[in-house]
């Protein structure tokens, strides 16, 4: 059975009723026509699928926050939230992708910010990034509270609803579900350059949320901090180190 996200129960229920009524009407006209509704209903259900993912073992890996296609990779001279130069990786989500968003790394949510806006086609990444309705999640190192990543959920031409399930001061773990965008959209990942992020994807590449690596942290001090050790002494934390791989659940 395909695991489904709880954020789609209403749409699936209402959609099923509407499609069932449409199928009934088509059946009255000509019974075989009712079969045309089946693929539409299957797509509706599949849109809200929420698969369990195996996380990469490398603790310095920054994971993809979404399923989709890498549409752009841009260096930014100054990002206000991260406090300096950054790199942005944009991911376009078609209506056939999984639309659950996930945390790219461990940390704590410093802030979330919703911004009303337009519904420009998310494939036009520059306009969509700056003008569309969006929700921004700022993630910081849990110990130092220094910002280490930004995930921005952006609506598209069809998507009209953003769901964010984390808030200020909430701890997050890499691969954790943090929300979703309904019906085609764009997700952006921003990383500060002081982390020394080595981008491991290319434009046009398909990625899976939590399963694929977007970047690897190469700055020695930053890598130690993200791995859970003290950035000053490099000593290990009291908790046990992470297992080589792990599964995340809702």
What phi and psi, each to the nearest 5 degrees, are found at residue 119? -130, 55
Does residue 185 have an active-site annotation? yes
Which two three-digit tokens encode residue 189?
């990942």
**Beta strand ranges found along 36-104 (DSSP E):** 61-63, 68-79, 84-93, 100-102
Active-site residue, from 169, 185, 206, 249: 185
**3-state DSSP call for residue 111?**
strand
Which two three-digit tokens encode residue 229?
């050790």
Report the candidate in 115, 134, 127 with the shortest Cα–Cα distance to residue 181. 134
* Alpha-carbon gap, residue 50 to 98, rounded angstroms: 7
**DSSP 8-state class, residue 49:** B
Q: Give the burial string for 139-149 (b: 16+ CB within 10 Å, else e).
A: bbbeeeebbbb
Query: Would you name the residues annotated as active-site residues?
Result: 185
């Amino acid at each position: 059975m395909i695991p489904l996200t709880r954020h789609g129960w209403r749409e699936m229920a209402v959609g099923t009723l509407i499609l069932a009524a449409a199928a009934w009407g088509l059946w009255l006209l000509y019974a075989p026509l009712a079969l045309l509704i089946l693929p539409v209903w299957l797509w509706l259900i599949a849109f809200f699928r929420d698969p369990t993912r195996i996380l990469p073992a490398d603790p310095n890996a920054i994971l993809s926050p979404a399923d989709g296609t890498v549409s752009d990779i841009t260096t930014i001279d100054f990002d206000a939230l991260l406090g300096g130069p950054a790199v942005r990786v944009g991911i376009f989500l078609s209506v056939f992708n999984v639309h659950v968003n996930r945390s790219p790394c461990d940390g704590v949510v410093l802030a979330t910010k919703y911004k009303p806006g337009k519904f420009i086609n998310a494939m036009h990444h520059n306009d969509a990034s700056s003008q569309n309705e969006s929700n921004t999640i700022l993630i910081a190192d849990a110990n130092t509270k220094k910002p280490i990543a930004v995930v921005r959920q952006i609506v598209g031409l069809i998507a009209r609803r953003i769901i964010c399930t984390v808030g200020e001061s909430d701890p997050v773990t890499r691969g954790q579900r943090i929300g979703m965008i309904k019906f085609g959209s764009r997700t952006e990942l921003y990383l500060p350059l002081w982390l020394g992020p080595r981008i491991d994807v290319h434009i046009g590449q398909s990625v899976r949320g939590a399963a694929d690596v977007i970047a690897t942290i190469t700055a020695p001090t930053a890598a130690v901090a993200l791995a859970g050790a003290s950035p000053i002494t490099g000593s290990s934390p009291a908790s046990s180190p992470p297992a080589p791989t792990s599964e995340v659940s809702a």
